[in-house]
Structure 1
Amino acid sequence: MPEAADKAGPKPGRKPKKPSRAALAKWERVRAFALDLPGATEEFPWGETVAKIHKKVFVFLGVDDGSYPLGVTVKLTDEAAHAHALTAPGAEPAGYGLGKSGWVQIPLEQKGAPRADLLCDWVEESYRTIAPKKRVTELEERGTPQSG
């Protein structure tokens, strides 16, 4: 989540809060789903986890060390999906101007946070938006990866 740098981290002298087991399990499921998409790779720029296709990020997975709230950031160009994602508790357009291009940051720790299967649907939409047509065709030919 590139907007993490915009927010203050844990207060000096305080131990970072660990993510809840439920949020971490959801995060791990979404990460596994993203990395199962054709050609997806994992990288760790800016101290966070991202999934890329052909050197382009399609999902920011943030950090899981408790230094920032656990969440995912996806690019949603479908108006209905974008609007739906923004209704999630604590969701907001991504920082660094990415929100203007359809990127939405969705926290996982909030009560009422989206289920992992819905997050996986949004990750797939983000992938389809970023990936070359060849990879999208490959995805369609093999069927959608198992999200759980």
Structure 2
Amino acid sequence: MLYLETITKHNWLKAISLQVRDDQLTFVARNVVSLAQLNFLDHFQAKGIFAEDEMVGFTLFGIDEKDQSYWIYRMMIDQHHQGKGYGKEALKLIIEDIRKQKEAHHSTITLSYEPENEVAKQLYEKAGFREVNGLLIENEQVSRYTF
């Protein structure tokens, strides 16, 4: 069973040691970059994705200052744990975490991905995210989940 746990001074080294496969490096920023970026994101949180007591993935999500909507900026599963269904389960946990936190005026979660990343596209579609037709941000396809 998976669960999310906040990245702290006790587990951040494990978070930055997680890696995607070499062929996925163009799709996902390294976790060390995400943790650095967190210093400039007031309403975001970084969480480890855990299976039992082992961190198997990482996520960064929160309220974007530009549009005041919830965004999932990052989600990754370590290369040694891919193909086990963790991505699908982790995405459900992230949605549920946001659902518990959200204020009444928030009705969507937004994310973006490289259009060539078919695995991500399928994962997000199966979870209920729908592409915003024609909307690209920095050459990434935008998709939204509606509560």
TM over 0.5: no
- Smaller-chain TM-score bracket: 0.3 to 0.5
Which structure carries more strand by proportion?
Answer: 2
Structure 2 length normalisation: TM-score? 0.34
Q: TM-score, normalised by structure 1?
A: 0.33
